[in-house]
Structure 1
Amino acid sequence: MKRITFKLAGRLLAFSTISIVVGCSGRGATDDADVGAPAPRPAAPESGVTAVTAERPASITDAMVQEGAQIYAGAGICAACHGADATGAVGPDLTDAEWLIGDGEFEQLVDQILEGVSAAEATNPLGAIMPPKGGAAITDAQVRAVAAYVWTLSH
């Protein structure tokens, strides 16, 4: 069994504490006035980076994308790891064309969110995992909405 260093243990404790505080704080919860408002689009890619251009799958609707943005920032607790603007924190950046697992296609994103990311698949320095559905109590339909939102961030 590997020894956990104090530095790594400290990082894990800090990450866990931040995740709990963010998840329980209600930050990111939307008011009724925000319902139906379009999600803010992340900044354009830096020069020299080619943006991914792909035709939106027919199964992704504008309503799904809007719902997915709200779930991402609220009940889905996605922002706790991927950042409020989805550019990454403990979890990877979701706004660029680089996918650490899979190809970034819609159905693959749905499957990845449903199944999570195991320690063996994790590519970040802390080895942080993503539990199924990100650890949130969301439905499969809500997972599809979040995947639709994430797909639009990088395509």
Structure 2
Amino acid sequence: MVRLARIALPLLVLLPATLAAQDPAVPRPPHRPPEVTDSAIAAGDSLFHGIAGCSGCHGPRGIGTDSGAPIGQGIWMHGPDTYAGILGRILHGVPRQFSTRGLAMPMRGWADMSDAQAKAIAAYVWEISHRFPQEPGH
């Protein structure tokens, strides 16, 4: 009986943690696409808040403004939340007639950005929109 208790007690202690880890209701961060690297995120953060002017419309934390839709809350109104979908919207913009704010998002934002810069911003936007839970700050 003592031997059974020595085996059963640790199992009973571990069981709730094991079940919680398997709970499908617990959100899990998705795996990063290969293009979303730490260096790309850092470069995109700098561009988003700097010369590209993204934060002017989408807000410094990506939660949206009167001029731009929220992009940092995992809510997507203009296509999929994939890296490729985000990059496509940066490169090709969002026409005014499809905008939720009545304003067009110009191709490549408000800057004459290179493909590499657009890819970095896409990596940053992907990262801030897939955080679980949403982190304070930018």
Extract structure 1 runs of 4+ deviating beyond 4 A.
none
Given that 1:52 and 1:154 are in contact with CA atoms closer than 8 Å, whether structure 2 keeps it comes out as: no
Question: What residue in structure 2 maps to residue 86 of structure 1?
Answer: 62
Question: What residue in structure 2 maps to residue 70 of structure 1?
Answer: 46
Question: Is residue 119 of structure 1 aligned with residue 96 of structure 2?
Answer: yes
| 2:77 partner amino acid | L
Question: What residue in structure 2 maps to residue 139 of structure 1?
Answer: 114
* TM norm structure 1: 0.63
| 1:141 partner amino acid | A
Aligned-pair identity in percent equals 34
Q: For the residues of structure 2 that align with 1:52 and 1:120, how far apart are their CA atoms?
A: 35
Question: What residue in structure 1 maps to residue 127 of structure 2?
Answer: 152
TM-superposed deviation, 1:73: 0.5
TM-superposed deviation, 1:53: 2.8
Segments of structure 1 that go 5 or more residues without pairing to the other structure are 1-49
TM-superposed deviation, 1:61: 1.1
Q: For the residues of structure 2 that align with 1:68 and 1:52, how far apart are their CA atoms?
A: 23
TM-superposed deviation, 1:85: 1.7
**RMSD over aligned Cα, in angstroms?**
1.5
1:38-59 Cα deviation digits (max 9, x unpaired): xxxxxxxxxxxx8673110012
Number of equivalenced pairs: 104
* TM norm structure 2: 0.71
Give 1:1-155 correspondences, 5 Å limit. Answer: 53-89=29-65, 90-124=67-101, 127-155=102-130
Given that 1:106 and 1:148 are in contact with CA atoms closer than 8 Å, whether structure 2 keeps it comes out as: yes
Given that 1:114 and 1:143 are in contact with CA atoms closer than 8 Å, whether structure 2 keeps it comes out as: yes
